[in-house]
């Protein structure tokens, strides 16, 4: 006789970039083990890779995580963590003014996605007829060991990974058909103004946001803005506890 299969709740979560509901199940013990093993490894690449794998495991509807922007992946992980374990997490921050530590409770259900004020659609003009089509940082960055291990040139390397197409007149060049060295050479020969516009597109990418306001021991009003998974979780302890 086979052991029974346990039913688990199904959640509808809106994927922000698609503005569409998808069905997800909560973390199971196997996902919890995966996160614990990654945390114990103390390897940030293992941690990020496990986060992406967990989200992928929990999707019930057909959805390719690799095609999502990174902010979708981070948002979905927070939602799944809230449903699976607890929507409240404790975080501790040191106030740089009075040098004291403060503990806060963060409600993951109140985390929002903040979008840039201007929307260029990622189309960065070089000339009247030529330009670059950018995409927001992809979820695949969480599997990109080369990028995660970088200690310098992070912005340049991010740009390399976020160029979608290059066009001149009616001719469109799909970047994934070219070697990385060719893309790097193209970028290095851009004029400064265009390169700065590309940088600003990535600086203004949609991001998670949760704002904490408090008064420190000196009586001064302080604000903490959480904008990434690194801000929400201290990977030493808080991924699943």
pLDDT digits (tens, 9 = 90+) for 91-131: 888 899 999 999 999 999 999 999 987 666 789 999 999 99
Rounded CA-CA distance 108/48 in Å is: 19
Please indicate, yes or no, whether residues 67 and 155 belong to a single structural domain of this protein: no
Give CA–CA dist 161/66, Å, rounded.
Answer: 13
Helix (H, G, I), strand (E, B) or coil at 13: strand
Residues of the chain with pLDDT > 90: what percent? 67
Domain limits at 135? 123-203
Q: Residues 16-57: pLDDT tens digits?
A: 999 999 999 999 989 988 888 888 877 778 888 899 999 999
For the chain, the domain total comes to 2
CA–CA separation, 170 and 181 (whole Å): 24
18 and 95 together in one domain = yes
Same domain? For 136 and 178 the reply is yes
Same domain? For 80 and 128 the reply is: no
Any domain includes 68: yes
Could you tell me if 94 and 169 lie in one domain? no
pTM: 0.88
Residue 228 lies in a domain: no
């Amino acid at each position: 006789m086979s052991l029974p299969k346990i039913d688990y709740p199904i959640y509808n979560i809106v994927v922000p970039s698609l503005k569409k509901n998808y069905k997800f199940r909560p973390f199971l013990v196997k996902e919890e083990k995966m996160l614990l093993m990654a945390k114990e490894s103390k390897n940030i690449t293992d941690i990020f890779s496990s986060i992406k794998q967990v989200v992928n495991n929990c999707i019930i509807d057909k959805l390719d995580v690799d095609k999502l922007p990174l902010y979708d992946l981070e948002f979905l992980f927070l939602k799944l963590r809230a449903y699976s374990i607890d929507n409240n997490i404790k975080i501790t921050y040191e106030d740089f003014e009075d040098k004291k530590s403060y503990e806060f409770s963060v409600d993951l259900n109140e985390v929002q996605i903040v979008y840039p004020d201007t929307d260029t659609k990622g189309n960065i003009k070089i000339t009247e007829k030529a330009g670059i089509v950018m995409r927001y940082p992809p979820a695949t960055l969480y599997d990109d060991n080369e990028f995660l291990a970088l200690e310098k040139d992070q912005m340049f390397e991010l740009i390399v990974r976020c160029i979608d197409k290059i066009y001149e007149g009616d001719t469109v060049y799909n970047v994934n058909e070219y070697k990385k060295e060719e893309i790097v050479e193209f970028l290095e020969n851009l004029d400064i103004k265009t390169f700065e516009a590309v940088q600003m597109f990535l600086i203004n990418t949609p991001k998670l946001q949760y704002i904490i306001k408090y008064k420190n021991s000196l009586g001064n009003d302080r604000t903490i803005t959480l904008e990434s998974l690194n801000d929400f979780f201290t990977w030493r302890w808080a991924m699943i506890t």
